[in-house]
Structure 1
Amino acid sequence: MSTLDQDLASQIERLRAEGCEIIRSEKVSGASRDGRGELEIVLQFLRSGDELVVARLDRLGRDTRDVLNIIHECESRGAFVTVLDPHVTTRGEMGHVILTVLGMVAQMERRFIKERQKDGIERAKASGRYLGGKRRIDRHVVRELLAQGQSVAAAARTLGCSRMQIYRIIGEAPPAV
């Protein structure tokens, strides 16, 4: 069981302990709302008097604007938002202020993480230790499929990737012999 799975299990346990009856989860970054289908479903089903409960603010979003937009959407439906860690709710005016500040802190923390990551990559590159990300698609297999007459779309379907990835591989310099 991975750390992410353990974290999810502890969050679910905490939500159940708080009396949450319906729990939805997704394993995507909270950095933006793109691809967050479960969040969209929850927001669509919220009704007046409902409460959206999240274990931590960063589970709701890491961008202040997104967090505030989500809270606004909940409130426009007559629902409340409660964050368990630290325990803050939008049921009172002070909760809005605290959530706004916490959202700003979460966004700032995300920027710091990205800066540290960028600095680490630059140091690793300078010392010759950075090899880049792991390649997910075997370039040789792509070239073989195309040489056999498969279209780019067919090769992408076969490999379970996008056509754009195939086009990028086609555009790469041929391997050194």
Structure 2
Amino acid sequence: MKFSLMLLSLFVSVVSLAQKKDCDIDYVIENDSTRFTKTNDYLFVERSYKPALESVYIALVKSEETAYVQLQFLQKDALFIPTTCVDAKSLITFQLLDGTIVNLRHAQDDYCNSLSFDPEQQANIRILSTYFQIEKDDIAKLKKSPVSVMRLRFSTAVFTYEVVEKLASKSVDKTYFPTRYFIENIACVE
């Protein structure tokens, strides 16, 4: 009887491990007091209109017991690009297909992006990279329904994007499926 229970227990463990999603991990930093895990950057939104380009990349991060979305907001244009800043009131708002609204609060100090110039493409570039905290209740919501709209509320501007089911990127020549990103990847930071 003990052997049967042990065999059943082993089988259940193997099946549950086999069902866990393989996470696309960029890196893990681990030492005596900390564990920090980050998934690869994922193109969530891309707006391309000559000569401008706006891209939003996200990654999931887990530091200790807290989950975050790392946001990289890239703007590229031949014309001047205004500064984009984040502060304590900044939010990412996801509207899910089932009507649920999920707000993620900015988790770092106030910050503004800086302007750089690409002489090869004769374009101005601004990149804002920052973190937004995912509350435990929000993890459950993001697992249940695809994303339909994303709103970035910065201290200096608001950007609203319809999130498409299939995104064939022109800038990185790759296809992404952003509406299902959280459903398929949130387990990586649970």
Q: Is this a same-fold pair by TM over 0.5?
A: no
Higher helix share: 1
Calculate the TM-score normalised by the size of structure 2: 0.23
Higher strand share: 2
The structure number with the bigger radius of gyration is: 1
